[in-house]
């Protein structure tokens, strides 16, 4: 019989009764990312107990991202552009800066306050949508659970 992770739905070995570690990667800098939240939990065929905590964690994370978005929509005094390759750059808000006009225009040089703001707002909106979809997916998985015979 095959077993599936409660969280990511992947078919994973569970020879000890719990789902094996999975979902991690080894990025190029030599460290390992964390495992899927369903690792070391009972398989989905047996339990759905790991799903609710995962949903609750995502809801907290979603609230944090919405708060961050709101802070950026209020045009902070300074914005930091971060890069994996270069030192962080801090941009000060230009005098008379109009957030609504800037976001409506949408495309700016990324090496400016406006460009950095547009990029951050775009990324946060995208992340918020992805988190909403993941919460919906996990909630449906939780609601439709039936213990395997």
Q: What is the pLDDT of residues 26-61, one digit of tens each?
A: 666 666 778 899 999 999 999 999 999 999 999 999
pLDDT digits (tens, 9 = 90+) for 60-76: 999 999 999 999 999 99
Q: Who contacts 137 (Cβ-Cβ below 8 Å, separation ≥6)?
A: none
pLDDT digits (tens, 9 = 90+) for 120-142: 999 999 999 999 999 999 999 99
Structural tokens at position 48:
């759905």
Report phi then psi at 11, rounded to 5: -80, 120
Percent of the chain residues past pLDDT 70, beyond the cut: 94
- The whole-angstrom separation of Cα 22 and Cα 13 is 10
DSSP secondary structure letters along 23-34: S----TTS--PP
What confidence score (pLDDT) does residue 138 get? 97
Structural tokens at position 12:
């994973």
pTM exceeding 0.75: yes
Contact 62, 135 (CB under 8 A): yes
């Amino acid at each position: 019989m095959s077993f599936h992770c409660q969280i990511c739905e992947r078919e994973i070995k569970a020879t000890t009764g719990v789902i094996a570690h999975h979902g991690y990667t080894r990025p190029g800098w030599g460290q390992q990312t964390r495992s899927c939240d369903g690792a070391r939990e009972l398989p989905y065929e047996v339990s759905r107990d790991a799903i609710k905590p995962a949903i609750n964690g995502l809801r907290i994370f979603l609230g944090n991202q919405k708060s961050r978005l709101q802070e950026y929509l209020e045009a902070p005094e300074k914005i930091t552009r971060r890069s994996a390759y270069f030192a962080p750059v801090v941009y000060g808000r230009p005098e008379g800066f109009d957030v609504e006009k800037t976001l409506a225009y949408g495309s700016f040089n990324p090496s400016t306050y406006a460009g950095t703001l547009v990029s951050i707002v775009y990324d946060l909106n995208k992340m918020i949508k992805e988190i909403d979809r993941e919460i919906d997916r996990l909630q449906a998985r939780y609601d439709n659970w039936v213990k395997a015979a």
